[in-house]
Each structure stands twice: as structure tokens, then as C-alpha cells.
């Protein structure tokens, strides 16, 4: 079931809106496979491509998706376990810079994304119905565990679409 607007900050609606209705676990698993298949067709040179000066390389985008998935999955874990300690936000540009994803192979990033997504799906699959509805505070906003799952799906889909349109389209 799609999260209600009061389960997340308004900024996250842009990601949640991208996710089709249905079983969020099946969606997360299918997305993982689709993203891995898309990335596996690419060369290392494509991984180093940036569509404009100052923009992240394709590999940096993948690293960002991985880091964000880990951060949000950690938030979901804490919320699901009843931890109400406020969690600070994070600065994505600092994470991208310090991750040094551009120095890695695209294949290593694909493997890491696949492992992180699998761990995320397994975590959510193990939750009780009550745990999905628990809430916590992250980046000064209350959020439910359910909303975290939907935001993760939408965030990944947002970046996959950006990769296809800005990095991999014939006009890119």
C-alpha cells in the first residue's frame, strides 16, 4: 500500500509518485534486476561519462544510488526497531566526492548495487505489518518505514531514468 502524505516529508512525494502501485517488495526486486541489466551492457568508458561539466559521472550516479540506499535502509531499520532518536541528514555531494566511485570499475559498482538492493529487499521482507507503520525522525522530518521503501524505489527509478535520458540516449 502506497504511503499516505503524512508518512513522509513533502519533498519525497516526487520519488513516491514515480513508483507504480503494487507490491513494493516485488517492485524493489524487479528494479534491482532491471538496473543491473541496464548497467551490465555499458562499457567502462560510458561509466566515466558526464553529460555536462560539473555533473556527476555515470559511475558517480551509481555510487550515489548505493549510498542513498544504505542510508535510507539504515533509517528504516532504526524506525522499524522503534528507535526514535533523531537521525541527521547527509550531504549527497560530499558523499559522492568522498566515495571516489570514479576510481572504481563499473562492474564493481554493479556488484555492490546488486548486493545492497538484495539486502534491502530481504530486510523489508522480514518486517511485520506493525513494523512497516512505525515512524522515526530523519533530517528533521517524521517518516514511516513504509515510506522509506517507496522513496528508495522512486529514488532509484528517478536516477535510472536520468541515466537513460542524459547519459545513454543517442542525443546525450
Long-range contacts of 157-163 (CB under 8 A, 24+ apart): 157/15, 157/18, 157/19, 157/31, 158/14, 158/15, 158/18, 159/61, 159/64, 159/65, 160/31, 160/34, 160/35, 160/38, 161/18, 162/61, 163/38, 163/58, 163/61
Quote the pTM value: 0.96
Computed over every residue of the chain, the mean pLDDT equals: 97
pLDDT of residue 170: 75
**How far is 45 from 30, CA to CA, in rounded Å?**
27
- For residue 171, pLDDT beyond 90: no
Mean pLDDT confidence for 21-33: 97
With bands split at pLDDT 50, 70 and 90, how would you rate the model's confidence at 172? low
Domain 5-167 class in CATH: mainly alpha
**How far is 77 from 37, CA to CA, in rounded Å?**
28
State pLDDT tens for residues 71-122. Answer: 999 999 999 999 999 999 999 999 999 999 999 999 999 999 999 999 999 9
What's 19's DSSP letter?
Answer: S
pLDDT of residue 116: 98
Amino acid at each position: 500500500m502506497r504511503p499516505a502524505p503524512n508518512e513522509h516529508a513533502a519533498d519525497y512525494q516526487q520519488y513516491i509518485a514515480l513508483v507504480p502501485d503494487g507490491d513494493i517488495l516485488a517492485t524493489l526486486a524487479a528494479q534491482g534486476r532491471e538496473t543491473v541489466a541496464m548497467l551490465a551492457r555499458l562499457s567502462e568508458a560510458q561509466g566515466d561519462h558526464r553529460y555536462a561539466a560539473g555533473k556527476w559521472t555515470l559511475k558517480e550516479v551509481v555510487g550515489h544510488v548505493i549510498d542513498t540506499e544504505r542510508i535510507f535502509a539504515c533509517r528504516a531499520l532504526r524506525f522499524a526497531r522503534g528507535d526514535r532518536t533523531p537521525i541527521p541528514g547527509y550531504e549527497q555531494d560530499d558523499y559522492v566526492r568522498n566515495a571516489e566511485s570514479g576510481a572504481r570499475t563499473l562492474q564493481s559498482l554493479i556488484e555492490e548495487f546488486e548486493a545492497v538492493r538484495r539486502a534491502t529487499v530481504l530486510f523489508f521482507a522480514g518486517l511485520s505489518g506493525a513494523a512497516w507503520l512505525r515512524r522515526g525522525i530523519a533530517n528533521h522530518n517524521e517518516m514511516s518505514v513504509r515510506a522509506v521503501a517507496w522513496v528508495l524505489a522512486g529514488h532509484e527509478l528517478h536516477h535510472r531514468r536520468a541515466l537513460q535520458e542524459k547519459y545513454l540516449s543517442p542525443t546525450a
